[in-house]
Amino acid sequence: MRDLNNKIVWITGASDGIGKELAIQLAQLGAKIILTARSVEKLERIKTNLAGDGHLVYPMDLLKVDAIPDAANEVLYKIGTVDILVNNAGISQRSLVKETLIEIDRKIMEIDHFAVVALTKAVLPKMMAQKSGMIITISSVAGKFGVPMRSAYCAAKHAVIGFMEALRAEVHSDNIKVMVVTPGSVQTNISKNALEGDGKKHNVTDPLIANGIPVEECVQKIIKGIKNETPELLIAKGKEKLAVYVKRFFPKVLFKMMTRMQTT
């Protein structure tokens, strides 16, 4: 996948953050982008500013998981194939377990896990038939260890990593690559858009996010990972990066660290 020129790349959550920046940088490399999110207006503005031509806006509400297969079939009918699927859309959380309504747990799991599974399954037959393709899923370091105030988010991100690891083994002989990206704090609106326990938007940028990795830098690393067909890509710094390795080798130490962690 070293040459991305004329590759058809479908990106969910393309109206902001990592998804938007991926669309910009991949288009500069000659890729044809399918932009998906809920806001047609935002997607159209992004499309207008993308390098090259042949890009497509396809709005979708990924919370409507049952509608995803038909939507994917419509996209495939229009453009013929998808070379790279980027499952980027997602939503985070800022609330204690005891304060989180069960419908919020379900909503986060639907968007961050089941929508990813549904869209992946919808494009998989075409990739298997053509014996090529790449499926990229943006998980999180929260998919590697549990963090206070993020229970539902951590659950969904853990789940999607497990799903993609199983899928990677299953489709290896079909020449389909599966890449999982586990970013730490990146300078996006993820904490502003996060849900509180009652479903309200958090509307606050966490200090970790404000001081996180610039989104342009994060996307540069993702594109390098695409070109190298990296199975799992950790993009983090400082304590977040360290925590991934502490969990692997000294889990009891990490568990104690989490009990002392101050989160917002």
Which residue, among 43, 137, 128, has the nearest Cα to 89 in the 3D structure? 137
Give the SS3 label for residue 32.
Answer: strand
What token pair was written down for 172? 């290896």
Q: Is 153 a catalytic residue?
A: yes
Yes or no: say if 145 and 243 are a contact pair by the CB < 8 Å rule: yes
DSSP character for 201?
B
148: Cα separation from own chain's centroid: 21
What token pair was written down for 222? 């993702």
Which residue, among 91, 104, 101, has the nearest Cα to 38 in the 3D structure? 91
Out of 58, 77, 153, 245, the active site residue is 153
Q: How far apart are CA 130 and CA 183, in angstroms?
A: 30
Q: How far apart are CA 196 and CA 93, in angstroms?
A: 6
Yes or no: say if 55 and 47 are a contact pair by the CB < 8 Å rule: yes
The residues that are catalytic are: 153
